[in-house]
Amino acid sequence: MPVTVWVKRMDVAGEQYVSVKSVNCETTVDDFKSCWVAQAKLHVDSSLVTLRLVKYGARKLSNEEEKQAAELDDPSLSLLDVNITGSVWLLAFVATARVFPGAGTVPGTCYCPAASVARGH
């Protein structure tokens, strides 16, 4: 069953959560990062992104909840393996941006929908 994943970049002040809709729970953490990096047009290698799971559910998060986020540190696990089965909120920490030749294309198969990132208002 597809889920909505809300992602907030932590390397840019004032960023808001954006939704990634219709994400397949069988996608690995690594594949999700690659898709998110490509859709957000970050032009960095996905290995420079660390995801932290804040919570599950449908309401916006408090600063305190964000401080307690747990790192998704095993890229081989599926989203289902890390208990993502419904709406979830993630923080994305992007390390120092290194530009790669051919940025904008991420090699490999992308299991996230291609056009489903919407900016939050």
Domain assignments of the chain as residue spans, ordered by start? 3-118
Q: Which CATH architecture group holds 3-118? A: Roll (3.10)
Residue 18: pLDDT above 50?
Answer: yes
| Residues 6+ positions from 106 with CB-CB distance below 8 Å | 34, 35, 37, 38, 46
CB 111 within 8 A of CB 31: yes
Predicted TM-score (pTM) of this structure: 0.75
pLDDT value of residue 101: 54
